[in-house]
């Protein structure tokens, strides 16, 4: 039996889809070991509220990837102000790029990131940054990103 090509489309997220964003974000964090399964339900609720707030405030632009009608990926452009500059102080971070494991290595992450980049450029940001996860550096280099040598200081978890 020959299978047809899957129906693939991207859509910019609206406020009614924050539950899907929270679901995909939880899947990503669970996969990376950054979210305990026991905390996932609470995280999804908090994530949904936070995504809705960020969308309403214009601090977030997000896209969903659908394959045969199923949401299987997401990407975000997170907007923030930095110190004043002559033209603009608006920056963007490409974040939360996720494609479900069974749909990887098909170019879907590139499609998602390209949309996020276009939104950031359309807003006239001064700089676009990201922090690639393991194995993703090649994707971002192909899209024109260069390693800036930026250093980070980890923030310690608050004492409970």
- Sequence ranges of the domains in the chain: 8-142
79 phi and psi, to 5 degrees? -100, 140
pLDDT digits (tens, 9 = 90+) for 55-98: 999 999 999 999 999 999 999 999 999 999 999 999 999 999 99
pLDDT of residue 1: 44
Collapsed DSSP state (helix, strand, coil) of residue 99: strand
Question: What is the pTM assigned to this prediction?
Answer: 0.86
From CA 9, how far away is CA 39, in angstroms rounded? Answer: 31
Which class in CATH covers the domain with range 8-142? alpha beta
CA atoms within 13 A on the CB side of 69: 0
């Amino acid at each position: 039996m020959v299978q047809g090509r899957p129906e693939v489309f991207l859509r910019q997220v609206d406020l009614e889809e924050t539950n899907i964003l929270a679901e995909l974000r939880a899947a990503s964090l669970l996969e990376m070991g950054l979210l305990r399964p026991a905390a996932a339900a609470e995280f999804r609720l908090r994530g949904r509220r936070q995504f809705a707030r960020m969308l309403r405030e214009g601090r977030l632009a997000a896209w969903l990837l659908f394959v045969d009608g199923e949401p299987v990926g997401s990407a975000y452009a997170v907007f923030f102000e930095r110190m004043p500059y002559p033209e603009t102080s608006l920056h963007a971070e490409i974040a939360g790029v996720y494609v479900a494991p069974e749909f990887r290595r098909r170019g879907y992450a590139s499609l998602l990131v390209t949309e996020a980049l276009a939104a950031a450029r359309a807003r006239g940001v001064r700089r676009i940054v990201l922090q690639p996860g393991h194995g993703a550096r090649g994707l971002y280099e192909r899209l024109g990103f260069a390693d800036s040598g930026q250093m980070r200081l980890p923030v310690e978890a608050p004492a409970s």
